[in-house]
Structure formats: structure tokens, C-alpha cells
């Protein structure tokens, strides 16, 4: 999840008052998964600040991170090998990793089908993937549709921020995302909704009793 907070603020959601409730749930979901990964070679594609990459370091894991620009926060820049790449072909051989992951990345990628195939290519047989991306049918988007402001993609999410201009090339529903991963060859696909509500100044929602189809974020888990 790309952060636009000032450097003076913590980007760990559990460490300051009035935190974004969605960010709490998002961070907790990733950490819960990360804590189960041991003795694995892990690739984070589009690591951003590095705050989620570092959750996978330790526990005898070997962690690699790819990004098109080095925008890492210095607090989250160690414990893994960072590599800049062209945003197209992952610079690794076939069947290289036990885990391939990305968080709030695929909605920014122009050629998503090729991106999914690259994830599949570098995973070892039986390897795991975890992906998180905004749900196109999240509550805020549905409310905008009700007042005639349906999202049109590509959509500029911010003009300035960490890494520059941010554009969502598209967003996915649950069924769309699952279908695309099936087409790329993944199996044992499972999806999970993370948080449900309205962000921003309202900061109102829940990470309990989430209706997956209307969750803020889709988490997808699968195997090669």
C-alpha cells in the first residue's frame, strides 16, 4: 500500500494515535502471513518504501525486492537485497523463488497479464504467491457511483508523492482477479477481503464481519 505520509511520521500503523483503521487491518493481514514464512527465498515486486518487505526478513528467509525507483525509507532498507529493474521482465531465472508477493502494485502495471506470467515464471513448482490490490467494488467507489461519479480508468490517484505521479491503470473485482490468476496458471487460488468502510476524514469501518465483495482490499493467495 503506497504511503504518502511525511517522513517525520511513522508508517507502521500500530505506532501512532488516530491511525488509518484500514492501514491497521492491511498491515496486520500481511504480518500474519509473513510470520508463517520460514526458510524461504522471497521476492517482493514493487517494494515501495520497504515497510512490508521487512516483515518477511528473519526466520532464515532470503528476501529480494524489485522496484523501478529507489524510494525506500531508510528505516526499511536493510535485511534484504534491493534491485532496480525496468518494470517488465523480472531479472531472475525460472523457478527461483518459494514466495513471490506484491502489495498495491498490480493496479499500476500497464500489462498485467504479462506481470502475472512473470510472477508464475520465477516461482518454484508449488511456490506461493500473495497479492493485495484495491477492490473496484469497495464501499467508497460504490457510493460515488450512486451520485454519478463512477471511476474511469486509467485514473490519477495523486499528482505528487513518493515515487511521483500515481496512476491506477485498472482495478479488479474478486472474480476478475481470480480469473486472471487462473489464466496465468496458478492453482489453489483463495481470496480474502480486508477491511470494509470509508477512509479519509471519516476513517470509519471494520475488519470484522467483512463482506468480501465490498471489502477495501482484495488479498489473493495461490500456488504454482
pLDDT digits (tens, 9 = 90+) for 91-130: 999 999 999 999 999 999 999 999 999 999 999 999 999 9
Long-range contacts, 205-210 (Cβ 8 Å, 24+): 205/21, 205/22, 205/139, 207/21, 207/24, 207/25, 207/28
Residue 161 is assigned to a structural domain of this protein: no
Query: In this structure, what CATH number is given to the domain that contains residue 87?
Result: 3.40.50.150
Average pLDDT rounded to a whole number, residues 160-180: 89
Number of domains the chain is built from: 1
Q: Which residue has the higher pLDDT, 24 or 34?
A: 34
Residue 162 is assigned to a structural domain of this protein: no
Residue 160 is assigned to a structural domain of this protein: no
Cell numbers representing residue 150 in the block: 463512477
Residue 215 is assigned to a structural domain of this protein: yes
Q: Where in the sequence is the domain holding 70, given as residue range(s)?
A: 13-135+172-223
CB-CB neighbours of 150 under 10 Å: 10
Question: How far, in Å, CA of 4 to CA of 220, rounded?
Answer: 24
Give the lowest-confidence range in 16-30, 60-74, 144-158, 208-222. Answer: 16-30
Amino acid at each position: 500500500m503506497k504511503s504518502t505520509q511525511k517522513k517525520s511520521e511513522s508508517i507502521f500503523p500500530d505506532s501512532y494515535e488516530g491511525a488509518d483503521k484500514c492501514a491497521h487491518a492491511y498491515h496486520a493481514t500481511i504480518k500474519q502471513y509473513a510470520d508463517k514464512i520460514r526458510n524461504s527465498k522471497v521476492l517482493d515486486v514493487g517494494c515501495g518504501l520497504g515497510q512490508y518487505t521487512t516483515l518477511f526478513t528473519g526466520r532464515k528467509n532470503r528476501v529480494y525486492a524489485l522496484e523501478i525507483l529507489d524510494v525506500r525509507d531508510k528505516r526499511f532498507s536493510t535485511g534484504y537485497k534491493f534491485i532496480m529493474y525496468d518494470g517488465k521482465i523480472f531479472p531472475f531465472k525460472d523457478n527461483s523463488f518459494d514466495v513471490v508477493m506484491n502489495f498495491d502494485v498490480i493496479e499500476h502495471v500497464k500489462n498485467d497479464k504479462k506481470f502475472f506470467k512473470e510472477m508464475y515464471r520465477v516461482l518454484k513448482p508449488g511456490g506461493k504467491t500473495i497479492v493485495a490490490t484495491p477492490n473496484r467494488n469497495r464501499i467508497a467507489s460504490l457510493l460515488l457511483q450512486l451520485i454519478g461519479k463512477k471511476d474511469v480508468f486509467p485514473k490519477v490517484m495523486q499528482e505528487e508523492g513518493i515515487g511521483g505521479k500515481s496512476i491506477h491503470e485498472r482495478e479488479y473485482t474478486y472474480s476478475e482477479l481470480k480469473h486472471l490468476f487462473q489464466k496465468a496458471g496458478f492453482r489453489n487460488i483463495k481470496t480474502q477481503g480486508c477491511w470494509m468502510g470509508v477512509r479519509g476524514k471519516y476513517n470509519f469501518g471494520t475488519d470484522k464481519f467483512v463482506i468480501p465483495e465490498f471489502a477495501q482490499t482484495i488479498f489473493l493467495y495461490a500456488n504454482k
